[in-house]
Structures are given as C-alpha cells and as structure tokens.
Amino acid sequence: MVFIPYGRQSISDEDLQAVAAVLESDFLTQGPEVPKFERAIADYCGAAHAVAVNSATSALHIACLALGLGDGDVAWTVPNTFVASANCAIYCGASVDFVDIDPVTLNMSPKRLEEKLKFARAKGLLPKVVIPVHFAGLPCDMAKIGALAQEYGFHVIEDASHAIGASYGNGKVGNCQHSDITVFSFHPVKIITTAEGGLATTQSDDLAKRMQSLRSHGITRDAARMVNADEGPWYYEQTDLGFNYRMTEMQAALGSSQVIRLDEWVARRHRIADTYDQKLAHLPLVLPVRDDGSLSALHLYVVQVDETKTDLTRRQLFDAMRKAEIGVNVHYIPVHTQPYYQENGMAGVSFPASETYYRRCVSLPMFASLSNEDQARVIAVLEDIFSAQGDAIA
C-alpha cells in the first residue's frame, strides 16, 4: 500500500528544464529570473508590485516592518493559523493578540473583530496591523475587514499562504483591494512551489520600495532614495536595518514555470473537492464551506468529526487513517495555546471557536496530482472506519 500524503508538489519536465537552464546561466542569484517571476505574479493578481523573498515568514516580517510595526505596537491575527502569522509581529518588537474565527468559514470572524475593536478603542489599545488568514484557501470577508480598517485606522496584511489562485467576488487574491500587502507561500505543500519561498504584493510604490530594501540588508542603489550624493557606479547606501531574505534565481525560475499551471491546478482541486463533498455527505463529518461568494484555492480539504452524530474521536479517526497509510494532518493547533504564547500573555485566554474546531478537525489528502484511484481509497477507508464504529451509513 502506498502512503498518500495530505499535500505534495507537482514537478514537470518544463520545471526541471527551467531550473537547469538557470544553473547553466551567469546568475544564480540577483539576476533576471526574480524580477520576471515578480512580474508574472503581480500581473496574475492584478497588483502593481510583487516582492519575492525566501519564505512567506520573511515576507510577513518585512511586510510588518514596512508598515512601521514596532515596539509598543499590537498586531492581531487568528489562532487558527500557522505560528508564522503571529511570530512576524513579535520579530518587530510588537505584541500579538488574536481574533477568533467564524465557526463556518473558519476565517477571522468580522463580527468578533468589530467587537474587539470597539472594546480596544475604549481602552486605547487599537492594533496597528491586522493579519487575516485565508484559511484552506477560502478568502476572508475582505470588504468588511477593509471597511473596519478605514473606520479604526489599522493596516491590513493578508496572509494568503494558502490562497494563491483564489478570487474574491471581483478579482484575484493578491490585488490588495482591501489591504496594504498580501503574502503568499511557495512551500512544497502549498498551491505552487519554489521549494522554500514567499512573496508580498502591494499597490503602494512606497511599501514595495521599503520591502525591496529590507529583503537585502536595507541597502539601496536608487539615487532617489539616498541620503548623500551618489558617489559613483559602485555606490550604495544602507538606509535601514534589513536582512538577507533574497529568493534565488533557481527558485524564481521554478516559480515562473509553476504559475503557468496555477489555474488548472485550482480547477483540479475543485474537482477533487466535488468528489469528497458528494461521497462523504452521508458520514458523520462536517464538510468545509467552499462557496462564500468567492473562489477558494482549496489548499486544504478539512473535515470535522460531527460530535452530535458519532462517538468516534478525532484522535481515533486520525490514527485509523494513518494506520491505513493515509497521510491526514491537523491544521491548526490554536497558536495562543502554544507554550511560547502561554508564557507571553495568553495564559488563561480562550478563543472557543478555534479551540472547538481544533478538537474535531482532520485535513484529508488534497493536491492537484492526487489520482482518482487514490482519492477513492481515502473515501473507502473513511467509510470502513465509520462502519466499524457502527455509525449508520445511508
């Protein structure tokens, strides 16, 4: 029996050739491939600028810095995310608080956000940056979050690590219509990959320039941004404290080659989800919401054990699936429950919707190259587990 992972990359002959061609060229870093990849993603998303870096974590970090997040500031994100969505604010010296999720969309609840903002305004503790996460690839209610950003005066970074290829009602995720910056991840389990890699899109010339500087030591070669007179062709200035967060030319070439198949892959993910929706409807599982007036990129297909219909626990379901060589996973352990966050202000704090969701959730295999045969095996194993449990299967 072959192990079926929950997510994996697809690499074509064209991808291999694109990477090999770079290895034989003059530039392995700081050549033409990174700007080419940035242009491809910016055009795809409908953003003025794209800044490629070595991970989404790095992109989140320089996005926070570019927006001026620093000591004494507060950033808000959701508990139902990967730790990087919260850690990025702490790197900047800011502190983090959380907004609970909507139990249906599993995204930041605009209602909880508004309540928390009202309370924070009364106490003079408004956030400087809010980081909604498009969980599983389903876009958050950005129109509402954007309206609250106007009203309460905070910046918005969309953590779209799951959501390249997704669209809101009127455009692609990454167009920053209701945000300052959108961040993507190209880790191999995500929708397209550059091995490690990430990218930030923005409509702002100024934010793009700041992020370009921060990803490369805070150095500029642009005379217009220099403090002193340009001393010659060799001259550069460090005007900020930046990092080495650059993406390599091989990674960018792989990304440019992958993005060609992005829409086709998202469509394939929807066909896989259609099959799951249909074949799992009779099991004691809560299936994910996909149609929210937007198109999900379907990074994940997460089911929840319906505790009103079965005694089987998530742990039992998880173990039985893994025993059958199905690589299910759990997304996510609520970030505020991590020991680091418990020691940094979150002890005794509860976000009930995220915690309830976490107790029940299992991510099933979902990736563009998942074969119909392998998906049928996933479904058959689930049916066997619930019928062995004695749960009625119609």
Ligand X SMILES: *Cc1c(COP(=O)(O)O)cnc(C)c1O
Interaction between residue 198 and ligand X (CB under 6 A): yes
Size of the site for ligand X (CB under 6 A): 14
Site for ligand X in 265-294 (CB under 6 A): none
Residue 206: its H or E element: helix 205-214
DSSP state of 325: T
For the bound state, the minimum distance from the C-beta of residue 182 to ligand X, rounded and expressed in Å, comes to: 12
Paired tokens of 366:
């979902």
Using CB under 6 A, pick the residue from 37, 41, 55, 326 that binds ligand X: 55
Please report how the helices 249-259 and 33-45 are oriented relative to each other, as an axis angle in degrees rounded to 10: 30
User: How far is residue 231 from each of residues 212, 222, 241, measured CA to CA in Å?
Assistant: 22, 12, 21
What value, to the nearest 5°, has the Cα angle with vertex 263 and ends 261 and 269? Answer: 100
Residue closer to ligand X by CB (options 61, 128) is: 61
Burial class (CB in 10 A: 0-12, 13-18, 19+), 179: buried
d(Cα 18, Cα 32) in Å, to the nearest integer?
A: 13
Paired tokens of 148:
């609250």
103: β partners: none
| Contact code string over 117-156 relative to ligand X, x by CB under 6 A | ----------------x-----------------------
Interaction between residue 84 and ligand X (CB under 6 A): yes
Residues 6+ apart with CB under 8 A from 42: 48, 49, 50, 201
Catalytic one among 128, 172, 190, 209? 190
For the bound state, the minimum distance from the C-beta of residue 53 to ligand X, rounded and expressed in Å, comes to: 9
Residue closer to ligand X by CB (options 162, 215) is: 162
Using CB under 6 A, pick the residue from 6, 37, 44, 82 that binds ligand X: 82
Q: Do the bridges between strand 198-202 and strand 219-220 make them parallel or antiparallel, or are there none, so unpaired?
A: unpaired
Site for ligand X in 155-184 (CB under 6 A): 159, 161-162
Is 190 an annotated catalytic residue? yes
For the bound state, the minimum distance from the C-beta of residue 272 to ligand X, rounded and expressed in Å, comes to: 19
For the bound state, the minimum distance from the C-beta of residue 162 to ligand X, rounded and expressed in Å, comes to: 6
Number of Cβ within 10 Å of residue 174's Cβ equals: 29
Using CB under 6 A, pick the residue from 81, 179, 248, 304 that binds ligand X: 81
Report the half-sphere exposure of 238 (CA within 13 A, side-chain side).
8
Using CB under 6 A, pick the residue from 80, 87, 185, 203 that binds ligand X: 185
CA of residue 92 relative to chain centroid, distance: 20
For the bound state, the minimum distance from the C-beta of residue 307 to ligand X, rounded and expressed in Å, comes to: 26
For the bound state, the minimum distance from the C-beta of residue 201 to ligand X, rounded and expressed in Å, comes to: 15
Interaction between residue 77 and ligand X (CB under 6 A): no
Helices (H), 281-343: 314-323, 339-341
- The contact set with ligand X (CB under 6 A) reads 55-57, 81-82, 84-85, 133, 159, 161-162, 185, 187, 198
Query: Annotated catalytic sites, by residue?
Result: 190
